[in-house]
Amino acid sequence: MKATIEPRRLKAIFGGSVGNLVEWYDWYAYSAFAIYFSSAFFPEGNDTAKLLNTAGIFALGFLMRPLGGYLFGRIADRVGRKQSMTLSVLLMSLGSLLIALTPTFAIIGIFAPILLLTARLLQGLSVGGEYGVSATYLTEMATKNRRGFYSSFQYVTLIGGQLLALALQLLLQKVLLSEQQLQEWGWRIPFVVGAILSIVALYLRKNLDETSAFENQKAKGAEKKGTLKELLKHPRALITVVGLTLGGTLAFYTYTTYMQKFLVNTVKMTKEESTLLSFLSLFLFACLQPVFGALSDKIGRRPLLIGFGVLGTICTVPLLTALSQTSSQWTAFLLLMASLIIVSGYTSINAVVKAELFPAEVRALGVGLPYALTVAIFGGTAEYIALWLKDRGHEPYYYWYITFCIFSSLLVYVFMKDTKATSKLNEDA
């Protein structure tokens, strides 16, 4: 039996992960190339003001994520995980294509940022659904004793999407295009690539198997599957998802999405230096995820979360302060890696922890909706708040803001049960 199940399981995890990578590549390409296209859509003001406007649209895209978490989570719980993931990748490709084809402010005026916002809202809707459904799919496809390891590949591919965006940026910067060409039209290339890659992801997802957990609960009444009424019967799990996400998502977006701008705008590195440093640190960060995931299968989820909470509370202000003041690329790299190692205690296992909190009939909705709400409020506004505080001369306040949020999550980690021992996934059969 094992010989027939394992190839199917590995194919499913690969297919789900690759589709996840393409989705997150499309999402992160916006942030990676914002340093080039911000002037095309917002030509007035200083560099920080332009980035602030672009970050504002980045934040607004996050506001669509709760709606995406609800819509796609409901589809996944009622119709199937596979169908929901296929629809989400189609929507993401549409958003990328719209950004690639939108004329600049100089050509169509105010309609340029309006179209950019429309595209970002479509992408926000898509990625809001992607997280909950892919987390559910990967954990349901994993074996009982390897759930932490296999589900960690969601963040491997999530980070991989950002790596792919940065790798393309490095290729364009150092080999294919000049700075002027990138500024004028080269920034459109990654969005065209994203739309094309989505076709590959669509093919892979259309050929995936459905999870046994979903198939086994098909007989249950439709009124129980993917509904808010049923979800609200699990208030403790919902509050736990919000609490454990709060500090982790803010730290993650600070050290990944916002960090490239921080290195240019605060540390005063060149765009090329910040891209290379971000790429190297993110590559190692991705490699750490399965290691931490496998460790959680041995010792439980809660010790890793508490480790992140304690170290994040103690070390965030010293690490970011030292990073902001360094003039050495190597020192910056080491400080950034120290931060990412701490954050790995959250990122590697947050998907499996959330999936283990809910029964199959509301799992995708339960994982996706409260997570998307929390990310919209804290992750989506991270770089906007950071840039706003910097623009007003109070950048260190942002470091304390992260610290407070991580400490708030730490309180949740301390009082929650270890989901490895109480997993609802064990009830699926």
Residue 219 lies in a domain: no
Which pLDDT does position 289 carry in this prediction? 94
Contact assessment for residue 369 and residue 70, using Cβ atoms and an 8 Å cutoff: yes
Average pLDDT along the chain, 429 residues, taken 10 residues at a time: 55 75 80 75 61 65 83 86 83 85 80 81 83 83 83 86 85 84 85 84 77 73 72 90 92 87 85 84 93 93 95 95 90 94 94 89 88 85 84 90 95 91 76
Residue 328 lies in a domain: yes
The rounded distance, in Å, linking the Cα atoms of 142 and 150 is: 6
Residue 220 lies in a domain: no
Residue 172 CA to its chain's centroid (Å): 24
Classify residue 68 as left (phi > 0), alpha (psi -120 to 50) or beta. Answer: alpha
The rounded distance, in Å, linking the Cα atoms of 76 and 209 is: 13
Q: For residue 391, give its domain range.
A: 13-211+229-426
The rounded distance, in Å, linking the Cα atoms of 119 and 372 is: 18
Element housing 227 (H / E): none
Which pLDDT does position 52 carry in this prediction? 60
Which pLDDT does position 258 carry in this prediction? 84
Which pLDDT does position 46 carry in this prediction? 54
Total tally of structural domains belonging to the chain: 1
Residue ranges in 256-362 assigned as alpha helix (H): 259-265, 271-299, 302-325, 329-347, 350-355
Which pLDDT does position 379 carry in this prediction? 79
**In this structure, what DSSP letter does residue 218 have?**
T
Residue 205 lies in a domain: yes
* For the chain, counts of helices (H) and of strands (E): 22, 0
Residue 155 CA to its chain's centroid (Å): 8
Residue 337 lies in a domain: yes
CATH of the domain at 294: 1.20.1250.20
Residue 351 lies in a domain: yes
Residue 6 lies in a domain: no
pTM: 0.82
Torsion of the alpha carbons at 159, 13, 234 and 380, rounded to the nearest 10: 20
Which pLDDT does position 2 carry in this prediction? 40
Contact assessment for residue 35 and residue 51, using Cβ atoms and an 8 Å cutoff: yes
Contact assessment for residue 76 and residue 89, using Cβ atoms and an 8 Å cutoff: no
Residue 109 lies in a domain: yes
